[in-house]
């Protein structure tokens, strides 16, 4: 199940952006991956043997990379953690990255999906800030 569901993530053009979601899965997930457009970025996590032994965790653009799952249980569950943070990192974010990203979590009981929209803003340039500051000083 998806917990702490995020509907929207925000990024700035030219910077690095993380799209993330927290989920719980019992039994342990057999496959976790991000999907956007026709692209799929698998999350490799071999802490538990071959649970998600998919080698390609970087998209063809090389700007979208899935990090390994991060266990969220406070002291770990015995024998395995059940809640995780999944992160898709986007380097040098561009306006073309503004879209929906779907996290897919599969286990023996089925599949759960969560859609997050990334909104990309243009950072305010230093030149614009200086110009605004000068106008305010002149007035």
Q: Residue 55 region, left (φ>0) first, then alpha (ψ -120 to 50), else beta?
A: alpha
pLDDT band at 127 (very low <50, low <70, confident <90, very high): low
What's this model's pTM, rounded to 2 decimal places? 0.74
Q: Cα 14 from chain centroid?
A: 17
Collect all residues with Cβ–Cβ distance below 8 Å to 122 and sequence separation of at least 6.
Answer: 12, 13
Per-residue tokens: 19: 């799209």
Is 90 exceeded by the pLDDT of residue 1? no
pLDDT tens digits, residue range 71-108? 877 555 555 668 889 999 999 999 999 999 999 999 99
Per-residue model confidence (pLDDT) at position 71 = 83
Is 70 exceeded by the pLDDT of residue 65? yes
CATH of domain 2-138: 2.60.40.10
Radius of gyration, CA atoms only, the chain: 19
All structural domains of the chain with their residue ranges: 2-138
Q: Cα 45 from chain centroid?
A: 15
């Amino acid at each position: 199940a998806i917990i702490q569901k995020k509907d929207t993530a925000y990024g700035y053009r030219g910077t690095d952006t993380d799209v993330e979601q927290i989920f719980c899965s019992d039994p342990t997930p057999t496959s976790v991956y991000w999907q956007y457009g026709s692209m799929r970025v698998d999350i490799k996590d071999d802490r538990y043997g071959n649970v998600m032994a998919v080698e390609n965790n970087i998209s063809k653009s090389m700007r979208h990379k899935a990090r390994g799952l991060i266990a969220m249980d406070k002291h770990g569950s015995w024998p395995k953690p059940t809640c995780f943070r999944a992160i898709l990192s986007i380097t040098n974010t561009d306006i073309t990255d503004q879209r929906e990203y779907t996290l897919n979590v599969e286990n023996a009981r089925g599949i759960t999906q969560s859609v997050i929209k990334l909104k990309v803003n243009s950072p305010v340039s230093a030149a614009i800030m200086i110009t605004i500051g000068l106008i305010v000083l002149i007035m």
